[in-house]
Structures are given as C-alpha cells and as structure tokens.
Structure 1
Amino acid sequence: MAEAAKGRGARSNASGRFEPETVEAFDDGWTGDDVEAAPLRTTLTPEHARTIIAKNTSPDIGFDRSINPYKGCEHGCIYCYARPSHAWMGLSPGLDFESRLFFKPEAARLLERELAKPRYVCKRIHIGGNTDPYQPVERELNSTRSILEVMQRFHHPFSIITKSVLIARDVDILGPMGRAGLASACVSITTLDRGLARAMEPRASTPAKRLEAVSRLADAGCPVTVGFAPVIPGLNDHELESVLEAASKAGATSAMYVTLRLPLEIKDLFREWLADARPERAARVMSLIRQTRGGKDYDADWSQRMKGTGPVAELIAARFKAAVKRYGLDAPRVPLDETRFRVPADAKVQGDLFDLPSSEMEEGIIV
C-alpha cells in the first residue's frame, strides 16, 4: 500500500498521461537497512508567459476569464481538479503537482499591459480558477498581491478563491474594493474536523484559520462566499450544515458547493489516498461517489459534472438548499461593477519586452 510523504497529499508520482514511458516508484522489499529517503522539497520555477489573462468557454463555469499566479499547488489537496494540468508540462499530477511549482515573475506588468490596450473590454476576472493564488511562498513573492494592486489601480472588478488565511493580509485592498462593488472572495471550507483536513488538505490553512479569514474579510467590507467544495459522500457530506452555519456566523453572505469530481489521473490518486488514509470507509465512499455519477467514477457531461445525478446527489442538493436558507446564505449575489474601469494616466501599452516563450524556463529554486 502506498504511504504518505510527510506533509503531502498524493501517495505516488506516476508519469503524466502524455509521456511515452511510464515511470513509477515501487517497493522492492529491501527496506531494513536502506537509508531513509530525503524529505520531498518544493521547487519554485519562474515561467515567462506571454499573457496573464486566461479565457475559457465552459458553460458550467461562472466566469470566462481568469488569472492563475501559480501552477501546481503546495496545499496538496488530494481531490484537486487541477492536478491533471501538470501532465501538460511533462510532470506527474501526483507528488510533482504539489512540490514542483511555477510562478510568473512579470504577472503584474503583463496584466497592466493587457488592461491598458485600447480595445480591452472590462469583464470580471476570477483569480485562482485553477490553483490557489495564496501559495505558502506568496508570503515572500507577493505575486498575487501585485495583481490585486493592478486591479485596484484600474478599478477592475475581480473575484478570488482560496483555502488560505493569507488572503486576510490583503484586506487593505479587498475591503475598499469590496465596499465599492469591485471585489468578492470565496473561502473554501470542506470540513471542520482538523484531523480530516490535515489528511485531505495537508498544507492548506486549518479550518479555524479559514473561518478567521472569512471574518476578517467580512469585517473589512468584502463580500464572502463559503465554498463547501468538494462534497465527498460518506466522508465529509455529514458536515455540510455545520460548515455553512460556522461560515455564516463568521460573516459569509452566500455559499456554493461542488460534488467530488474524479477526472483523469485524480480517480487513481484519490482511491490510493482513500485506501491509506481512511481504509475503513474506502469501499463505502467509492460506492456513494459512483451513485452520483451514473455508476462510474466520473461523468464529464457539462450539464451535471458539478453536482452529479441520482438520489445521493439530489439529497445533497436538498440539504444544501435548506441550509443556505436557514443560515441566511441565500441572498442574491450582486454583480460586480464593470462601469468604473479606468486606465490610469500613467499606464502605458508596452511592446514585446516580456513576450518570451512560455517554454523558456529558468533554473528551479528550492523553497
């Protein structure tokens, strides 16, 4: 059985699906006198991207443009839907995803250049649509912070999602912009059980710290949504009401949920984790998950992939609907103001100074 590396979520590091050869570690039985493996370190590599705003056309996603300051996520959430994206870079969606991170050092300058273009049309930008914008290294890099500063200068509306209390560092921006109708935040809280959170989301902020972030954002005037995502039947679904109640008391004004999705490599990574971290529940959890996906581990149909189908999914939806009403989390969401966007007088459209090929990477930095 695969075992956890300290502070990591994935139990393995199999090659990505695009690689011509499959490479995977295995136990050869020689363990008694072996030298103990070195701790898995996190590497951080600058990525010189051409643009910073990504577009999507998925009909079941509530935004069509986003910014992801980082690729990979050190939080290590075993269920993360972004894991398969690491395969595009020839890396594993397993341990590579949570230990080999990339960042865009020119993010703020790229964003300013894109927003200052004469033909740019303002629409809400979602920050963190793929991986969390508040990685632990954000404390030193300030990559997300620099993006928020540009948004503030341009009066550009944005939403942001995270599992980190580090978002509270930026209340000096999120508060005023939230009060002006230009910003909103979503804090993901999947459980109040610290033990389950540590196993399932090993390097994310504790549940108590996330509730603290909700409170600090709300007190500053930024509207906060709580995301009970993912709902994992048989594992955390029993906490739906208690999480929403706690978030409401902390100051959240709305809520959302997503039923666990297991596309591509995630299904194997999750099953591997489940067998190791919660073996007594593994068979029951996987059975309930399949009951929300028409008997399969996953169904990618856009019409139902976020919520699932069948009696189990319908019961979750009914409980969620009742809970948001009970705890006052069902108020209509006010669209962010797109009319206040202005290009500052000192903003200039720059040339191709930063248009370096995205494949041109510098040496990785150990953090």
Structure 2
Amino acid sequence: MDAVTPIPSSRRKGRAATSNQTNRFERLTRIATDDGWDLSEDLPPLRTEVTDEVPRRVITRNSSPDLSFDRSINPYRGCEHGCIYCFARPSHAYLGLSPGLDFETRLIARPEAPDVLRKELMARRYSPKVIAIGTNTDPYQPIEKTREIMRGLLQVLAEFNHPVAIVTKGSLIERDIDILAPMADKGLARVGISITSLDPKVARAMEPRVPGPARKLRTIKLLSEAGIPVRLMVSPVVPALTDHELEAILAAGADAGAVAASSIVLRLPREVAQLFRDWVEETFPDRAARIMGRVRELHGGRDYDPEFGVRMTGQGKWAEILKQRFDLSCRRLGLDRRLPPLRTDLFRVPPAAGEQLDLFGPKDR
C-alpha cells in the first residue's frame, strides 16, 4: 500500500497516527483536497467521540496457541491512548472505521457490559476460567474515568469470586485497588503493566495519551504494595528504537515491585504496517530505514509474519539475541518466576435478591 496523505499536524495534536487511511474492506478511498477557492477553511482539531453499544454478550472466546487464556472482555472498542504500534487497530475496520485516527478518536463504549457479564456468569453451563481484560484495547483508557465500565466489570467478578488478569498502560487502575487487593488476596487477580520505553520523549511520541514511564513505575509500586501481583511487560520491543533499553526497563520494573516479566517484539498486522511506517518516517526520519529493515529481519523479510509461534517473538539471529538478553536479565533480577495459576475453585453464583442464604455460604449451581 502506498503512503497515505497525512492529515495536518495542527488537527492531530496528541495523536499518533498521521492519517485516517481507508480500512481494508472499503473499495473507495476518500481524500480531502483543496477546492481551489481562496478562502480560509482550516478544519478544527480532531476530538474524541464516544458512541454507546449494547452488547448481547461480552465474553469473547479464542483458541490461539499463542495465548494463555481462552476468554476475554473488552469494555471499549478503539483506544484513546493512541499507541501507534497497537495490534488492535485493524479491529476498527470491522466497524467501517479507519484503523488510523478513527481508532484513536471514534470510540465505542459498552456501558451495559457489567449487567451482561452477570447474566453470562449465571448461566447454568458456565465453567469458570481466567478472564483476560485489556488484551485488545485498554480498559483504563481516559474515558474510563467517567464511564467506569471497567470498575463495574470488576465489581461483578469480585461478587462471583471469578479470576481476572488485567493488562493496562493506564494509571487509572489505581482507583480500583479497593476491589483488586481483596481479589488478589484470594488468588483471583493479577495485573500486567506495559512499559515500552523509559525515555519520556520516545514514549510520548509512540503512546501520546498514555501516562509517562515514571508514572507507570509508580503504578507498579502502588499495586505491588497493595499485594496485587504485577507482571512487567516490555512490549513491544521496537528494534533500533527501544531495544537498547531492555535491561534498564526490567531493572526499573523490578525496583518498583514487579514479580515477573514478559516481552513481545513489535508486530505490525494489516493496516498497522503502513500506519507505523508513515509515523516513523515523520517522527524519526534519521533512523526510519534502519528500524523498518530490522522489523523485516525479525519477520522473515516481511513487515509482519502472522504465523503462530513466531509472531510475538520474531525469528532469526536478532530475535535469539534479544531473548538471551531478556532471559539473562530476568534471572539476575528475580523476574523469571512462574506465577501460580489464579484460582477457579472459589467461583460461586451469589444469591439473587430476596433468596434465602444457605447456612454454609452461597450455593453451588
């Protein structure tokens, strides 16, 4: 795909994508052009728009061999954090929207998700396993501060004693320590915090509306002090841009209280490849060719290799060296431990309003 005409920087301040490229399902491409009239027609900056969606179901199932969970929940579609490398961007195409700036500015909220989740957990055939939240879009993106959908989901999961694993870049998770700490004490909750770079300028360029690296480290510290196990996620590692920070990020996370670590190399599925190329050429023109060359080296000569087993680790000599560096640092810092599985044996359907309580606690179904 050829480079897309960028939207003026004055309209996309605080955004990562440079364009609103057409999604892969559209046959026609729309391009804004000057109509030739000598009139001042500067368009306003792009603002975040939120539309509500009423879901029939909120638990999504998967059978990917690369993932450690088989079910997840997404409180939101699209993500205001706007990380340029986000592998979830192509999912916006299914809504008829662009994986570019639409993904960052045209969001879908699911305010009834907690009520729908409650119904799904009460189904007679439901069998509990860990629910992952934040594996597609971030549940603690800025609009969660007022919408509180994620908090509602956690309240339901806590009520059912259901295990949950959360991934986030947002410091807003600190608000929900009052729910997560008691769950963690029962072996029902753990959190992954993603740090891509310790350089504030690099982090801001890649993740324009994400809390800075120092703020993320404070979040790890606060969660850890509350007894919530935190996994430091060095994800994604961007070759020739952030890979030299690997050891420093791991050390900072360990100092903040992280008890384990993981790492994923940059992957650029579908529209993300062009979006990332345009961004890196604009933001880091002096090293854009080197970054993209190393990316292709990792993925067998392509921008991305979707093959299971290698898509998250990459392949080749550079990927091997990166893994060796990661393993060595984790052993040295004590981050190579395997966290115990979250408990499913505590799951109970709470009594309905007005239902007589059992003398020995909530009834099994």
TM-score interval (norm. to shorter): over 0.9
For 1:158-187, what per-residue CA distance to the aligned partner results, in whole angstroms no more than 9, with x for missing partners?
A: 100100000111111111111211000000
Specify the alignment match of 2:24 in structure 1. Answer: 17
- Higher RCO (C-alpha under 8 Å, 6+ residues apart): 1
> What are the Cα deviations for residues 84-109 of structure 1, in whole angstroms up to 9, with x where unaligned?
00000100000000000001111110
The aligned counterpart of 2:143 is 137
Deviation at 1:34, TM superposition (A): 3.6
Q: Which runs of 5+ in 2 are unaligned?
A: 355-365
**Distance change in 2, residues 1:32/1:168 (3 Å):** farther
Q: Say if 2:207 is the partner of 1:198.
A: no
Q: Which amino acid counterpart does residue 8 of structure 1 have in structure 2?
A: R
Counterparts of 1:276 and 1:96 in 2: how far apart (Å)? 19
Alignment equivalent of 1:277, drawn from 275, 283, 290: 283
Distance change (3 Å), C-alpha of 1:14 and 1:326: same
Supply the distance in 1 between the matched residues of 2:342 and 2:323 (Cα, whole angstroms).
26
Write out per-residue CA displacement over residues 320-360 of structure 1, whole angstroms, 9 at most, x where no aligned residue: 10111111111121000010001001279xxxxxxxxxxxx
Matched, 1:244 2:257: no
Distance (whole Å) between structure 1 residues aligned to residue 66 and residue 258 of structure 2? 23
Compared CA separation, residues 113 and 275, structure 1 to 2 (3 A): same
| Partners of 2:304 and 2:200 in 1: CA distance | 28
Tell me the equivalent position of 2:295.
289
2:358 matched to which residue of 1?
none
What's the CA shift string for 1:222-261, capped at 9, x where partnerless? 1000111001110000111111111101010001111111
Identify the residue that residue 185 of structure 1 maps to in structure 2: 191
Q: Give the aligned partner of residue 233 of structure 1.
A: 239
Pick one of 339, 343, 361 that aligns with 2:345. Answer: 339
Tell me how far 1:20 sits from its aligned partner: 2.5
CA distance in 2, matches of 1:347, 1:286: 58
In 2, are the aligned partners of 1:78 and 1:270 still within 8 Å (CA)?
yes
Q: Is the 8 A contact 1:9 1:199 kept in 2?
A: yes
Residues 14 and 25 of structure 1 are in contact (CA less than 8 Å); yes or no, is this contact kept in structure 2? no
Per the alignment, residue 331 of structure 2 pairs with: 325
Whether contact under 8 Å (1:67, 1:125) holds in the other structure is yes
SS at match of 1:144: helix
Q: CA deviation at 1:30?
A: 7.3
Query: Matched residues in 2 for 1:16 and 1:247: separation?
Result: 37
Q: Secondary structure, in 3 states, of the residue corresponding to 1:156?
A: coil
- Alpha-carbon distance in 2 for matches of 1:185, 1:305: 23
Q: Which amino acid aligns with 2:81?
A: H
Q: Is 1:7 the equivalent of 2:48? A: no
Further displaced range: 293-302 or 86-95: 293-302
Corresponding position of 1:354 = none
After TM superposition, the structure 1 = structure 2 runs for residues 98-117 of structure 1, keeping only pairs within 5 Å, are 98-117=104-123
Q: Aligned partners of 1:131 and 1:179: how far apart in 2?
A: 27
SS of residue in 2 equivalent to 1:173 = helix
**What is the 5 A alignment of 1:1-367?**
2=6, 4=9, 5-25=12-32, 28=34, 34-346=40-352
Unmatched 5+ residue regions in structure 1? 349-367
Q: Which amino acid aligns with 2:226?
A: A
Instruction: Name the SS of the counterpart of 1:210 in structure 2.
Output: helix
- Contact in 2 for aligned 1:9/1:77 (Cα 8 Å): yes
Distance 1:225 1:266 in 2: 26
Contact 1:176–1:220 at 8 Å: present in 2 too?
no
Q: Distance in 2 between matches of 1:31 and 1:276?
A: 29
Q: CA RMSD in A?
A: 1.6
1:19–1:181 Cα change, 3 Å: same
- SS of 1:332's partner is coil
Cα contact 1:14–1:24 (8 A) shared by 2: no
Where has structure 1 moved over 4 Å in runs of 4 or more?
28-33
2 CA distance for matches of 1:101 and 1:340?
35
In structure 2, distance between residues paired with 1:347 and 1:177: 23
| Amino acid in structure 1 at the alignment position of 2:237 | V
- 2:261 alignment partner, SS class: strand
